[in-house]
Structure 1
Amino acid sequence: MDVVTGAMGSLLPKLGELLVGEYKLQMGIKEGVESLEREMRSMNAALTKVAEVPRDQLDNQVIIWADELRELSYDMEDVIDNFLVYVDGSESVPDSNKLKQLVGKMASLFTNGKTRHQIANAINEIKNRAQEVADRRDRYRVDDAIANAAGKHKVDPRVLALYKDQKELVGIEDARNELIKRLTDGNDDGPMQQQHNLKMVSIVGHGGLGKTTLAKAVYDRLQTQFEYTAFVPVGQNPEVAKVLKDILLELDKSECIGDVATLDERQLIDKLRRQLENARYFIVIDDIWDLEAWNIIKCAFIDNNHGSRVITTTRILKISTNTGDIYRIKPLSQHFSEELFYTRLFGGKDKCPFDQLAEVSTNFLRKCGGVPLAIITIASLLAGKPMLDWAKVFNSIGFGSRDNNMDVDNSRRILSFSYYDLPYHLSLVCCI
């Protein structure tokens, strides 16, 4: 939806320029432009709310309305551009993009004398279209649909990674052992060496590579060596106080929720530091997106010279560099990609029914790029289809399938987190 707000963002300043510029608009025309500006500002406020909701959570009527508004915005901007060019006496803009019929009509009327009557008609035509879009907003209760979508809190599918059976994990052993070595100062699986300082390691990598799964595998292996342990997910838009409360409750299962419910961030940090002051602790903070939130959270992790350890997972390199030791998670090798793919699809590579499927599978895996989430998603999708349909699936890969498949939906949602955290100007580029 950011591409729609982008179109509106360039239109509104031009409407303002038309009103305050020295163009001596006829009174009726000026009133029409003022009315248009007010209406478009109102719609822009609604669009801003739309842009905050992932597209897959929006009602279809909202998407249709937003797309119509985008087209209207482009047409209005073209009309204004032509008006400003011709009034200023500049050369005509080449029609390289085959502007819509309305724009061509505007260009024609300006070259024929820019009569006030024709200008007023063009403004009225745009006003009528804007009114139609506004009426649809009311008719389909677009604002209510936006509010409902924004209020829905879908279960984060990454929670499933916390409860994977260890036997289902593929290609994780080397990464797990490397992380354990870093945390235990050289031992693959044994007790910690005598380094007593607090040590932090950050797992960094893009979505779908298995950061949460890896962190959980390390956590499960080492947690018995610590007095206090906690595995706490953070997420994209964290409430820092809630994260701190979750850490407290994980560390001490006897802690009463009511005892911490009213505490603010400073009080929660103080309470955590007191609890951890004389203890050896191991805490995983999973999926951090915001550096400021992390800077607050890590204030709770006191360096008490008891050999405590902290792991973070993040997609943001800047957060990793602000943590300590960095572990860059890598895609699966071809060997492990095949193992994961065939295990999910047939229960193992040796159970693949036809040798000729090897080439087809290689093509699928090439598109997946060693990303475990992508491999699992595609394997789950193929498992429900006749092999004759695999070619169709291959040609439509892009996680845009309309199949009612939970794995595809989960993959879409996970990958969409990355898009919705992009800066405004970068998300525009991705939409175009």
Structure 2
Amino acid sequence: MSSLLPKLGELLVEEYKLKKSVKKGIEELKAELESMQAALIKVSSVPLDQLDPQVKIWANEVRELSYAIEDSLDSFVTRVEGNEPTKPKIKHLLKKARNEFSKFKARHEIANDIKDIQSQVRKIKERRDSYKIDDVDANPAATTVDPRLPALYKKLSDLVGIDKPINELIKILSEGVPMPDKNPKIVSIVGFGGLGKTTLAKALYDKLSTKYQRVTTYQCHGFVPVGQNPKAKKVLLDIVCELDKELYKAATTMDERQLINELQTFLAGKRYFIVIDDIWDTQIWETIKCAFMDSHPESRLIITTRIVDVATKAGGIYHMQPLSDDYSKILFYTRTSGSEGPAEVTTKILKKCGGVPLAITTIASLLVGKHTEDWSKVYDAIGFGHADNGDVHNTRKILSFSYYDLSSNLKTCLLYLSVFPEDYLINKISLIWRWVAEGFIPYGEGMNHLNLERSISTSL
């Protein structure tokens, strides 16, 4: 839809010589499609498995209609913008006459097409009004338990390759803050979904918030999961609940400002260690951090996030790294209960996983109980089916959080990658210009691949 609307606007320019009635029809059609686009953006922000079936049907109808409209417009523009002869020879004059007739015919056909499209749009609009698409929201009945929750309850002894990052973080946390600074030291663990940020943060929290550590170092502590689209009040209440259950009972009726004041009062003069897990939004962070202003300089605050902007705002960035090859093998064989398949297939599977713990444990779960000769079949089927496997379902869910956090135009850019074969090496510059050609990225005069790349990186 985002590439279609500008094309409709271009039809209104004088060079196409459309009748006033046709132009008016295009203006009305464009206005209605803009309204549909706004509704579609709302639909696209809700996970597919949480959408009402009627909403899915309506969205599919709009999508198919947009394809039909775009095909019609492209056909019209191609016929009208034919090459004009440059020399006044007789054969060129005859060709020009044929071109003019073809253009006249094209204008007549586009007028009929617009009428037909308007009729279809009216029907779809009626269905939208009937289903209340503009009020679309996640289906409460489809809401499931957060698949990241088990990561909070893994034993340290069961984790692989966790000692090195824990020691690195402890070293960072042990470093003091500049003397004039009255705020806690902040460390931001940042990395894409599936790397184990939550697992690492929880393991570090468990190690530093033991009874011995609490007595000697920190006077209060807490681990607070946040997640996508949280309410600032709920996050602040969760922090209060972690720190003081009695205070929480009195705080449930407070607003954000009152909660921030209560937390500042409670934390004043105390050394604390708090983890805020999975922050997606800079605005939420800006609100949360107000509660920790003018705190004890020996306090420590850790956040985890997939969003570089959030980590940059918070400061103290620690980039989460994938597992090494050796640790990847250890984790893989631990999850397959020691079963070993063909060495060549195992190597290919681990290479595909790229050291991402979530990917390794998911693929390993598919191999448990299978004969070693079937491992190559599982490798060939990576990315397809297996929806009945709980680990695969949770993996898709976790990765989908990042997808649904993208803007609508970047979702389209991402989905476009499906035109390439699996494991294909994609040329970045070529890909960007393909996106431009498809209309996925707005292009302005004087732009080149460098500022287009910069624009895309900023959006991501």
TM surpasses 0.5: yes
Of 322, 330, 342 in structure 1, the residue corresponding to residue 333 of structure 2 is 342
Partner of 1:382: 367
Q: Tell me if structure 1 keeps the 8 A contact 2:276–2:303.
A: yes
* Other-structure match for 1:254: 246
Match of 1:182 in 2: 172
Equivalent residue for 1:245? 237
Q: Who is 1:320 aligned against?
A: 311
Residue in structure 1 matched with residue 159 of structure 2 by the alignment: 169
Give 1:334 shift: 1.3
Identity of aligned residues (%): 53
**Matched AA of 1:227:** Q
Partner of 1:307, secondary structure, is: coil
CA offset at residue 265 of structure 1? Answer: 2.0
In 2, distance between residues paired with 1:265 and 1:21?
55
> Does the aligned pair in 2 maintain the 1:33–1:123 contact within 8 Å?
yes
Q: In the superposition, relative to structure 1, how do residues 392 and 60 fare at CA in structure 2: closer, same or farther (>3 Å)?
A: farther
Deviation at 1:297, TM superposition (A): 1.0
Q: Any unmatched runs of 5+ in structure 2?
A: 85-97, 417-460
Q: Structure 2 CA distance, aligned partners of 1:65 and 1:196?
A: 55
Using the alignment, how far apart are the partners of 2:158 and 2:38 within structure 1?
A: 47
Aligned position for 1:66:
59
Tell me how far apart the structure 1 counterparts of residues 254 and 387 of structure 2 sit (CA, whole Å).
Answer: 46
Aligned AA (2:68): D
> 1:425, CA displacement in angstroms?
3.7
Match of 1:5 in 2: none
Residue 190 of structure 1: aligned partner:
none
Q: Hey, what's the Cα distance between the residues in 1 that align with 2:4 and 2:13?
A: 15
Aligned to 2:191: 205
Deviates more, 1:314-323 or 1:219-228: 314-323
Match of residue 418 from structure 1 = 402
Aligned partners of 1:197 and 1:304 also within 8 Å: yes
**Superposed displacement of residue 50, structure 1:** 1.1
Offset of residue 415 of structure 1: 1.0
Quick check: 1:391 aligned with 2:384?
no
Q: How far did 1:330 drift?
A: 1.0
CA displacement 1:191-218 (0-9 Å, x = unmatched): xxxx997322111111111111111111
Larger mean Cα displacement after TM superposition, 29-38 or 335-344: 29-38
**Aligned amino acid, residue 363 of structure 2:** I
Deviation at 1:68, TM superposition (A): 4.2
**TM-score, normalising length: structure 2:** 0.74
> Are the structure 2 counterparts of residues 427 and 90 from structure 1 closer, same or farther at C-alpha, using a change threshold of 3 Å?
same
Query: In the TM superposition, what is the alpha-carbon distance from 1:266 to its structure 2 partner?
Result: 2.0
Over the aligned positions, Cα root-mean-square deviation in angstroms equals 3.4
Q: 1:132, CA displacement in angstroms?
A: 6.5
Change beyond 3 A, Cα 1:182–1:90: same
How many positions carry a matched residue from both structures? 393
The whole-number CA distance in structure 2 between the counterparts of 1:110 and 1:409 is 58
2:436 is aligned to none
Instruction: Work out whether residues 72 and 110 of structure 2, in 8 Å CA contact, stay in contact via their aligned partners in 1.
Output: no
CA–CA separation in structure 2 for the residues paired with 1:112 and 1:299? 64
Maintained 8 Å contact 2:194/2:398: yes
1:85–1:91 Cα contact (<8 Å) kept: no
1:375 Cα deviation (Å)?
Answer: 0.8
Question: Cα gap change, 1:290/1:233 in structure 2, threshold over 3 Å: closer, same or farther?
Answer: same
Match of 1:409 in 2: 393
Q: Matches of 1:301 and 1:387 in 2, distance apart?
A: 54
Give the structure-1-normalised TM-score: 0.79
Q: Find the aligned partners of 2:309 and 2:138 in 1 and give their Cα distance.
A: 34
Q: Is the 8 A contact 1:228 1:280 kept in 2?
A: yes
Structure 1 equivalent of residue 429 of structure 2: none
Contact 2:49 2:142 in 1 (8 A): no
Aligned to 1:307: 298
Match of 2:205 in 1: 219
1:293 aligned partner: 284
Q: 1: CA distance between counterparts of 2:122 and 2:370?
A: 47
Question: CA–CA distance in 1 between the matches of 2:15 and 2:153?
Answer: 67
Give the Å deviation of 1:270. 1.2
User: AA paired with 1:429?
Assistant: C
Residue 40 of structure 1 corresponds to 33
Asked whether the equivalents of residues 377 and 407 of structure 1 are also in contact (C-alpha less than 8 Å), the reply is yes
Match of 2:220 in 1: 228
**Structure 1 SS opposite 2:168:** helix
Confirm or deny that 1:330 pairs with 2:315: no
Residue by residue over 1:395-426, the C-alpha shift from the partner in whole angstroms, topping out at 9 and shown as x without a partner, is 2213x424212211111111122222234443
Contact 1:86–1:110 (CA under 8 A) maintained in structure 2: no
**For the structure 1 residues 301 and 152, does the alpha-carbon distance in structure 2 shift closer, same or farther, using more than 3 Å as the test?**
farther
* AA of the residue aligned to 1:70: R
**2: CA distance between counterparts of 1:149 and 1:306?**
45
Alignment partners' CA distance in 1, 2:287 and 2:135 = 35
Aligned to 2:419: none
| 2:8 pairs with 1:15 | yes
Q: Aligned pair 1:51/2:37, yes or no?
A: no
Contact kept, 8 Å, 1:199 with 1:308, in 2: the verdict is yes
> SS of the counterpart of 2:246?
coil
Show the counterpart of 1:189.
none
Match of 1:157 among 135, 144, 147: 147
Alpha-carbon spacing, 1:263–1:20, altered in 2? closer, same or farther (3 Å) = farther
Whether 2:266 is the aligned partner of 1:269: answer no
